[in-house]
Structure 1
């Protein structure tokens, strides 16, 4: 039922891969994580004793904190090789759960699924495979593949786990597959009508969005925690209908998200990775909006970076809107170099897939520079690197054509020349044509400064001369 890069490896290969992941303690990536999670479940269904013998004891915890997905793999493996506790009901997993923070709504969903998987293994209630195994690296599940998996559950008399099924449904989207809907309607499982209705509506509805700037006059950050005012643009969304059939841990996703909502985190959430995007691959906007504060912190404070998150947003199956473009904007001028490099790649990926709104990104960059949130030299260097990549010149010009008038008015004169040089290269390499009045006016001034030289280069490139 599971083929391709997510196919179940042999027990010996699985043991080697699990050992490598647990020893490395670094993020294994979406494909490796999902494959290993499903493989442990699948081999446990086939022969738990053989799986236990192959995997051996779970390594003891290290003093070094592992990546969250490594900890999940360790927990699931521990449940698979540990004693069976048939008296424990896995159906009570998550009872007493309490929502603490809407920023980590997708983390709650991922945690609910892995907790359910581990609980079923401990209880000896095995399933042949997980319904939520992705069909591709973005995390998306093909609707017809989900129905085929449910049909196999039906044939074997296996009950779907609510969290596993919920995650699988959230990974379906991209339009209505009428063939999959008809197949779902033919299922005799109790969950059949719900699955058919979900697929019939095309997956999770897209919420209405809004963007807003932090209130107050823009102030520079101080050494106090969180002491920066009015310097960020964030995104919120309205409530989403349909939460009732999902486990309670999923409900935070469906609530209205207010971008400036307070939360009890002492530090920023660490869910900014590709796994978070893969939890809801058809809605990268939701992941970006809820974690945008953390992404911004790498640009205007000493926040930790999130390069994998930025690239995953650009590669996701769903459309890119204001939150995704803001995430890329912050990334292009982030202090950590890996974030800037990832944002450059994200910019080019968005453009290559026809998902880049150059005008939107240009306007966001202009406003964030005006607020003092983004440093122009870092932004300029990122755009220079993007121009050198395939399809990068067109992407950069699409952004700068909108941003240049405002940036030229707001940035210091000494950085104008460098910015215009990047723009001239982008325009020339992309074959752009047209006129920017602000650039033309600069080019007509007498003198030989770099500012004027690069303005003339850009003017001539746009004129095709």
Structure 2
């Protein structure tokens, strides 16, 4: 899409024909990366402000291609198509502000991030319908992970002030959610406070406190004894571990459709959705400093890829892993479910996410290993799927060390269950992978329960691989079987 700059962001689009070509490409595809998607939205706004007639003329063929019952293949592409149709349409007779007069009932906290994405698009479409001209979009990311630089946001607001226009509530709200990582520089906060825009004091206060705080997580297992999957029960009875988040202050300053993000999220409360279809990479970019909020809200969808054979969003976990915010229990549980996904593309994506987290020193191997062990013992994840995913993750440079840290935490619980006679049996290939990873990264030490398995008579695969792993950790060599 016109090339990339040094920050991994798309080069700017200036000519209407270029904007139309980029729109056609992204809508026909998967909506593009968050950087490409956001660059197109910003280009539509900037170009409309300069020459709306030329832009509309260029976009008409794209809009007509996706008119009527023909729908783009995924949510991001559908949002882009809506913007293109609004930019190509004749002036609206009247256009209400997003949210005004539109019936809305909050029925599901799982869709909180999707509501933010949708409200910003609705606001943009309404502005295009009114022929409102603004200099640029405030929430366009400064970086490929979705984050907005506070200084850049203040500079954009300064241009709004000079142009005599007010920010859209949803666009400003999204921009503020993308600012984080700690309090902004004092000079930046001062510049925000000196804005004559009514939003200046709010922006200054937000940047001074470092953006949205991190919520307190709660890890909860579905109630009841874990039951084998059946056509009647599905795979969920007592077999999932989910994460809730505490309530956050400050929702009143945001549009109403942003409010579910701030509410307490109780993961075991049901909703009226089965598979929501909101597990997309743009969800991670909506809250780059809060991957825990995103992961917690979408954890049921990620889990469905493992215990109900769902698929369709392999780009979500790598995008989540690239978020600059802290990775806690929700992110690591999402990764655990992804490693046990039924579809190979989802497992490969989970392996890539594990590698990305490890490469940025954000992988908590003990946390991930413990959750993998719990989900394997509950029967939620299949050992064969987890083994194949971890084998992929062990291949890149440094991958063996990361995989060993995960398995070093998972195996003691699995070995303890084995010695107690609890199902399932320890998966031989998983032990083989552990032995290979330990030898590759030079791991040393003892592993609870390993010696007991290695000392058992016979030559079954679990026993053989237990001996190999024991010797690898001792720095000795085991003869081949």
- Normalising TM by the smaller chain, what interval? over 0.9
Gaps in structure 1 of 5+ consecutive residues: none
8 Å CA contact 2:98–2:119 kept in 1: the answer is no
1:214 is aligned to 222
2:231 is aligned to 223
Whether 1:124 aligns to 2:128 is no
Whether 1:418 aligns to 2:429 is yes
Q: 1:162 to 1:426 in 2, by over 3 A?
A: same
* Aligned-partner Cα distance in 2 for 1:423–1:148: 52
2:470 is aligned to 459
Whether 1:307 aligns to 2:314 is yes
* Aligned-partner Cα distance in 2 for 1:67–1:291: 17
Equivalent positions of 1:39-438 (< 5 A) are: 39-57=43-61, 58=63, 59=65, 60-61=67-68, 63=70, 66-85=73-92, 87-90=94-97, 93=100, 95-178=102-185, 179-224=187-232, 226=234, 228-265=236-273, 267-410=274-417, 415-438=426-449
Q: 1:410 to 1:39 in 2, by over 3 A?
A: same
* Aligned-partner Cα distance in 2 for 1:161–1:434: 58
8 Å CA contact 1:93–1:116 kept in 2: the answer is no
Q: Which moved more, 1:222-231 or 1:337-346?
A: 222-231
Q: Which moved more, 1:255-264 or 1:408-417?
A: 408-417
Q: Which moved more, 1:25-34 or 1:343-352?
A: 25-34
User: Alpha-carbon deviations, 1:393-423, whole Å to 9, x = none?
Assistant: 1111111111111223446687543222101
8 Å CA contact 2:384–2:427 kept in 1: the answer is no
Q: 1:328 to 1:92 in 2, by over 3 A?
A: closer
Q: 1:17 to 1:92 in 2, by over 3 A?
A: same
What is the deviation of 1:54? 2.1
1:27 is aligned to 31
What is the deviation of 1:304? 2.8
Partner SS, residue 220 of structure 2: strand
Q: 1:211 to 1:91 in 2, by over 3 A?
A: closer
* Aligned-partner Cα distance in 2 for 1:278–1:359: 27
Q: Which moved more, 1:361-370 or 1:51-60?
A: 51-60
* Aligned-partner Cα distance in 2 for 1:438–1:53: 71
Whether 1:13 aligns to 2:18 is yes
User: Alpha-carbon deviations, 1:232-288, whole Å to 9, x = none?
Assistant: 0000011100101101111111110000122122x3111101011111111111111
8 Å CA contact 1:52–1:80 kept in 2: the answer is yes
2:479 is aligned to none
* Aligned-partner Cα distance in 2 for 1:437–1:108: 47
Q: 1:213 to 1:241 in 2, by over 3 A?
A: same
* Aligned-partner Cα distance in 2 for 1:110–1:220: 37
Partner SS, residue 105 of structure 2: coil
Q: Which moved more, 1:113-122 or 1:376-385?
A: 376-385
8 Å CA contact 1:6–1:134 kept in 2: the answer is no
- Report the TM-score when normalising by structure 2: 0.91
Partner SS, residue 244 of structure 2: strand
Q: Which moved more, 1:335-344 or 1:176-185?
A: 176-185
- Report the TM-score when normalising by structure 1: 0.95
Q: 1:299 to 1:56 in 2, by over 3 A?
A: same
Q: Which moved more, 1:442-451 or 1:100-109?
A: 442-451
What is the deviation of 1:87? 3.9
**TM-align CA RMSD:** 2.0
How many aligned positions are there?
462
